[in-house]
C-alpha cells in the first residue's frame, strides 16, 4: 500500500509523517485490497482556533473513499478521518459479502 502525504503551504515534520503512516496502515485490517492512500494537510484561516485540515482518500479497486476533518491539530484531524474511513470500509466490506 502506497501512502502519499501532501502538505499544502507548509512542510510536515518527520514526526507528523510517521504518525500518519502508522494511523493509515491500520486501515488495512478493515479492508485488505487498499491500493493507495493520499493524505492532504492544510492550514485554513490561520487566525481561527480549529484551523488544521486533513483529507484522506483511500483507493481500492473500482472505488475510493474520502474523509475530511478540521481540528485543532493535524494529529486530531487525521485520527477523526481514520475513524470515519474505518466505518466506510467496514460498510463497504459488508456490502461485498451480501
Report the CATH number at residue 63.
3.30.160.100
How would residue 53 be classed by pLDDT, with cut points 50, 70 and 90?
very high
pTM of the model: 0.92
pLDDT at 57 over 90: yes
Instruction: Give the residue numbers spanning the domain of 49.
Output: 2-97
In whole angstroms, how far apart are CA 75 and each of 5, 14, 60? 13, 13, 24
Q: Could you tell me which residues come within 8 angstroms of residue 77 by beta carbon, excluding any fewer than 6 positions away? A: 52, 53, 54, 69, 70, 71
How would residue 91 be classed by pLDDT, with cut points 50, 70 and 90?
very high
Domain count, the chain: 1
- Among residues of the chain, what percentage have pLDDT more than 90? 76
pLDDT at 37 over 80: yes
Amino acid at each position: 500500500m502506497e501512502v502519499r502525504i501532501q502538505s499544502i503551504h507548509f512542510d510536515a515534520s518527520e514526526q507528523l509523517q510517521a504518525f500518519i503512516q502508522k494511523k493509515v496502515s491500520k486501515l488495512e485490517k478493515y479492508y485488505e485490497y487498499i491500493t493507495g492512500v493520499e493524505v492532504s494537510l492544510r492550514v485554513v484561516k490561520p487566525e481561527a482556533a480549529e484551523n488544521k485540515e486533513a483529507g484522506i482518500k483511500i483507493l481500492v479497486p473500482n472505488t475510493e473513499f474520502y474523509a475530511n476533518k478540521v481540528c485543532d491539530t493535524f494529529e486530531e484531524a487525521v485520527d477523526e478521518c481514520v475513524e470515519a474511513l474505518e466505518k466506510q470500509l467496514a460498510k463497504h466490506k459488508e456490502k461485498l459479502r451480501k
